[in-house]
């Protein structure tokens, strides 16, 4: 049976980590927080909703995540689609 991931496996500040709902799904799938450096972006959607004084914007992103150190045909590569919702976006810059 696998061990529960340690905080050291989650390379972001504890306070930020506490804001991520569903992080346990990624941690249990990979055994650690996956590095998002080589993922493929499948979809990015900016969701905008007007409010009384302004607008609230959320960004929803879907990534193809996997263990880059394993060959494509290895089941331990653990390929999956990961959807992340970034809430209340006030500034956005997308670069290549």
On whether both 24 and 61 belong to a single domain, the answer is no
Q: How far apart are alpha carbons 7 and 33 in whole angstroms? A: 9
Q: Examine the pLDDT at 3 and tell me if it is beyond 70.
A: no
In a domain, 10, yes or no: yes
Q: Domain for residue 8, yes or no?
A: yes
Tell me if 80 sits within 8 A of 63, measured CB to CB: no
- Domain span holding position 23: 1-33
What pLDDT digit, counting tens, does each position of 80-89 carry? 898 988 888 8
Task: Walk across the sheet containing 55-65 and list its strands.
Answer: 40-50, 55-65, 80-86
Question: Does some domain include residue 1?
Answer: yes
Q: What is the pLDDT of residues 27-78, one digit of tens each?
A: 888 887 777 777 889 999 998 888 788 778 889 999 998 888 889 899 888 8
Q: Is residue 96 part of a domain?
A: no
Q: How many domains does the chain have?
A: 2
**What is the pLDDT at residue 10?**
52
Q: Are residues 52 and 27 in the same domain?
A: no
């Amino acid at each position: 049976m696998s061990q529960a991931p340690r905080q050291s496996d989650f390379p972001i500040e504890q306070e930020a980590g506490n804001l991520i709902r569903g992080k346990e799904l990624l941690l249990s799938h990979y055994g650690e927080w996956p590095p998002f450096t080589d993922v493929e972006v499948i979809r990015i959607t900016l969701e905008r909703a007007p409010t009384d004084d302004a607008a609230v914007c959320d960004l929803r992103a879907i990534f193809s995540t996997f263990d880059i150190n394993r060959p494509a045909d290895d089941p331990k590569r653990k390929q999956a689609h990961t959807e992340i919702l970034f809430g209340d976006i006030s500034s956005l810059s997308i670069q290549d």
